[in-house]
Amino acid sequence: MSEPDRATASGIPAAPVYRPGDRPLGDDAYARDLGDPGTFPYTRGVYGTMYRGRPWTMRQYAGFGSAAESNARYRYLLAQGQTGLSVAFDLPTQMGYDSDAPLAAGEVGKVGVAIDSLEDMRALFDGIPLDQVSTSMTINAPASILLLLYELVGEEQGVDPARLRGTIQNDVLKEYIARGTYIFPPQPSLRIVTDTFAYCADRLPNFNTISISGYHMAEAGATAVEEIAFTLSDAIAYVEAAVGAGLAVDAFAPRLSFFFVARSTLLEEVAKFRAARRLWARIMRDRFAATDPRSQMLRFHTQTAGVQLTAQQAEVNMARVTVQALAAALGGTQSLHANAFDEALALPSEKAARLALRTQQVLAHETDVTLTADPLAGSWFVESLTDELEARAADLIARVEELGGAVAAIERGYQKDAIERSAYAHAQAVERVEQVVVGVNRFTMEEDVEPELLRVDEGVRDAQVARLRRIREERDQQAVDLALADVVKAAGTPDENLLPPMREALRAMATVGELCDALRGVFGAHRPADAF
């Protein structure tokens, strides 16, 4: 009886066994593509010692309700051994609306923290010295605004902006593809991104100006091949925009970073990270003539796969998250968020968030994955997968280029359509039980007890609205109006950097929504081509 055909989640055929010489690129590829960790093309990791020096940064993504509530969670996680902060913002903040906007009703503080003004940002980081932590902020369309608020809080703490460390996601292109929290059309959005590159190169040299994200594409259904290709295509568009704006590639590229998912398909995920590093190194060296090794390094944050968490038998998610976090560590991530087991049901409870952090700590301190860089190097299967993923992703990048690049392809809906097709194929496989999801389509059971869940107080919006009302009553309205007028003037002047006037408007206590409304008045709001 012949063995049935098997394939990876990306559709790459898997042989029953792998032997020397089975790599698609041939035997000499080992010397050409592997090298040592910390050397071009960085297949084996961007640093020579990787985790032998110190483990990856452990960031537990958190934020809910008010700034004060989120601040308490941050303090708790730091006390439990977390080594970097990661801020989740609520949907109104992500979409550039204040908490009292009609469209914000029902969403204030629900999936992240509500930030309307400098006062909220002060409360969010109260008692947390910003020169002693690294902070990641998952914010895109208004990323520059939240970065400026962070800088202003640091200034009030007496911290030199050059000492601030962290990352803003700031990846608006993937919002048009997979997530939807965009504000402005693509071209003005790219201008804000490149203005942020230039501003940070001058004032915040240790802040990562963008985290180019494949995570949300993967959560929407992208395969590993599509995640690599569409993420790097977006990255190419950002680099081209920055170079087109007159920035030298080695002046900003060292601060580019990336954000990927870690799924339960452990070996393909490890190969995905290795292939992405290799592709990016060659793109930066050969296409953009980047000579600084830091410009060629693909440094990335990883989050375990939220889309693979199940509401059924939620405790099984602990096993899934452990495998996914192991994939990220074996793949050489620079920082990691491990999801809490109850996230398919609600925002993480304190207990579940602590357990997710402990999962990372066990991997870092009780296993041997940190003993050597790239522990799976030389595995005939992993090396073959790395080659296949690289080749298939390169072909898909070339297809995006044929369509005119990432922005032109986005405007045609190419990436979105491809991801939706992959998501549909996966859903069909689960429905037919060709893909087993434990507790969902096999090994099911009746459940009697629901885990204790975190509930956001419905009074959060009322408190935020009251705070906004007080801020508007107490501030110097004339100063706010003049500062917003300067922002509008800068927005209409293509060669002027938007961030300095935006910073001064925020200093004057203009709100996030007011600032975004001023920019909407100049740039307009994006409406997707398929919107009714």
pLDDT digits (tens, 9 = 90+) for 302-315: 999 999 999 999 99
Estimate to the nearest angstrom the gap between the alpha carbon of 83 and the chain centroid: 18
What's residue 348's pLDDT? Answer: 87
pLDDT digits (tens, 9 = 90+) for 213-240: 999 999 999 999 999 999 999 999 999 9
Pair (414, 518) in one structural domain: no
Pair (340, 480) in one structural domain: no
Q: Is the peptide bond before 142 cis (omega within 30 degrees of 0)?
A: no
Pair (390, 295) in one structural domain: yes
* Mean pLDDT computed over 45-55: 94
Q: Is the pLDDT of residue 25 over 90?
A: no
Pair (369, 501) in one structural domain: no
pLDDT digits (tens, 9 = 90+) for 271-304: 999 999 999 999 999 999 999 999 999 999 999 9
Pair (375, 507) in one structural domain: no
Flag whether 453 is in a domain: no
Q: What percent of the chain has pLDDT over 70?
A: 96
17-31, 339-353, 362-376, 438-452: which range is least confident on average? 17-31
CB count, 10 Å around CB of 488?
14
Number of domains in the chain: 2
Confidence of residue 24 (pLDDT cuts 50, 70, 90): low
pLDDT digits (tens, 9 = 90+) for 498-523: 999 999 999 999 999 999 999 999 99
Q: Which domain holds residue 489?
A: 475-523
Q: Is the pLDDT of residue 32 over 70?
A: no
Query: pTM of the entire structure?
Result: 0.91
DSSP letters for 34-98: I--TTSTT-TT-SSSSGGGTSPPEEEEEE--BSHHHHHHHHHHHHHTT--EEEEEB-HHHHTT--
Pair (354, 282) in one structural domain: yes
What's residue 404's pLDDT? Answer: 97
Query: Exposed (0-12), middle (13-18) or buried (19+): which is 515, by Cβ within 10 Å?
Result: buried
* Mean pLDDT computed over 337-354: 91
62-71, 187-196, 211-220, 232-241: which range is least confident on average? 62-71
* Mean pLDDT computed over 143-149: 98
Residues 6+ apart with CB under 8 A from 479: 508
Single-letter residue type at 321 = V
What's residue 125's pLDDT? Answer: 97
Q: Is the pLDDT of residue 451 over 90?
A: no
More confident residue, 24 or 254: 254
Pair (105, 210) in one structural domain: yes
Q: Is the pLDDT of residue 40 over 90?
A: yes
Residue keyed to tokens 């041939």:
26
Q: Average model confidence (pLDDT) for the chain?
A: 93
Pair (90, 224) in one structural domain: yes
Q: Is the pLDDT of residue 453 over 80?
A: no
What's residue 18's pLDDT? Answer: 85
What's residue 167's pLDDT? Answer: 93
Q: Is the pLDDT of residue 1 over 50?
A: no
Pair (72, 147) in one structural domain: yes
Flag whether 440 is in a domain: no
Pair (236, 361) in one structural domain: yes
Flag whether 22 is in a domain: no
pLDDT digits (tens, 9 = 90+) for 386-412: 999 999 999 999 999 999 999 999 999
Q: Is the pLDDT of residue 112 over 80?
A: yes
d(CA 79, CA 482): 43
Flag whether 394 is in a domain: yes
19-23, 73-77, 374-378: which range is least confident on average? 19-23
Flag whether 466 is in a domain: no
Upper half-sphere CA count for residue 229 (Cβ side, 13 Å): 27
